Homo-oligomer: A and B are copies of this chain.
Amino acid sequence: MTAEVTPRGGLRCGLRERKKRRTHDALIRAALELCTEQGYDRTTIDEIAEAVDVSQRTFFRYFTTKEDVVFAVQEIVEARFLEALQARPAAEAPLEALRNAVLLAWDDLGRMIESIIPVELHMRTYQMIESTPGLVAAHLRRSSELEELIAGVIARREGLDPDTDPRPRIVVAAFSGVMRLAGRLWGGAGECSVESIRAITEEHLDGIVPALTGEWRKKAY
């Protein structure tokens, strides 16, 4: 098996490719279903593999770690976000562009992932990640890698050198921290709809600049 990423939506490929993608997606589905139901730590690779009727070894040929399968869908969403960010008009300020790109990504989440898992399962996965220490750690590391990419895009938009100018990374750090905060608040609340996380995200992003510059004690929140 080659390590290449299976092209999503590729219809023009042979039986081998289709079969590969079928097991790939089936492993994701089985993993997420089992993990969200009985907990990440209480779910073994053997269980997941057995649910798809492949060997444990085959699982590790598709996903290098147990964590990987959990974040497989997130990866698609992140790619969509980056795309949306790059498409933002140059007139928008960095923070504004980030804000709008996220909201766009939330908006067409369904269309992106529905072919693999139901959106509802993806939302439950999100909550499971937030409540599993090991996955929180992995999630944060992945986010920080994503931050680098985002900072690069911002730097390019503004015509700055991404290697020497720290300002893009500073904005992205603030942005990213707020995104995570929003995610955590959403996970904590009972509501688990896409709409609610969209709303929370929007509200918190709009609070960044006031929070960092405003006179806190003068106006009640």
What is the interface of chain A, defined by CB distance below 8 A to chain B?
Answer: 94-95, 133, 136-138, 140-141, 144, 147, 158-160, 164-167, 169-174, 176-178, 180-181, 185, 204, 207-214, 216-217, 221
B177 touches A181 (CB 8 A): no
| Residues in B whose Cβ lies below 8 Å from that of A136 | 141, 144
Known: A140-B144, A213-B213, A217-B158. A173 touches B166 (CB 8 A): no
20 of the cross-chain contacts (CB-CB < 8 Å) are A95-B212, A133-B141, A136-B141, A136-B144, A137-B138, A160-B221, A166-B181, A166-B185, A166-B204, A167-B207, A167-B210, A169-B181, A172-B177, A174-B174, A174-B177, A176-B177, A209-B212, A209-B213, A212-B213, A213-B213
A159: B residues at CB distance < 8 A: 217
Copies of this chain, tallied across the complex:
2
CB distance from A206 to the nearest CB of B (A): 11
Residue of B nearest to A182 (CB): B166
Main secondary structure of the interface of A (DSSP, over half): helix
Q: A158-B217, A174-B173, A176-B177 are in contact. Are A167 and B137 (CB under 8 A)?
A: no
In the bound complex, residues from chain B placing their C-beta under 8 Å from that of A209 are: 212-213
CA–CA, A208 and B214, complex, Å:
14
Chain B neighbourhood of A137, CB < 8 A? 137-138, 140-141
Residue of B nearest to A203 (CB): B166
The answer on a CB contact under 8 Å between B144 and A212 is: no
A216's contact among B138, B158, B221, by CB below 8 Å, is which?
B158
Whole-angstrom distance between the Cβ of A155 and the nearest chain B Cβ: 10
A171 to B169, CA, bound (A): 15
Given A165-B221, A167-B221, A217-B159: A180 and B133 interface contact (C-beta under 8 Å): no
Closest 10 CB pairs of A and B: A173-B177, A140-B140, A174-B174, A137-B141, A137-B137, A167-B211, A170-B211, A165-B221, A177-B177, A136-B141
Q: Which residues of B contact A210 (CB under 8 A)?
A: 167
Q: Point out the residues of chain B lying under 8 angstroms from A171, CB to CB.
A: 211-212
Further 7 A-B residue pairs, CB within 8 A, beyond A136-B141, A174-B174: A95-B212, A136-B144, A140-B144, A160-B221, A167-B216, A170-B174, A174-B212
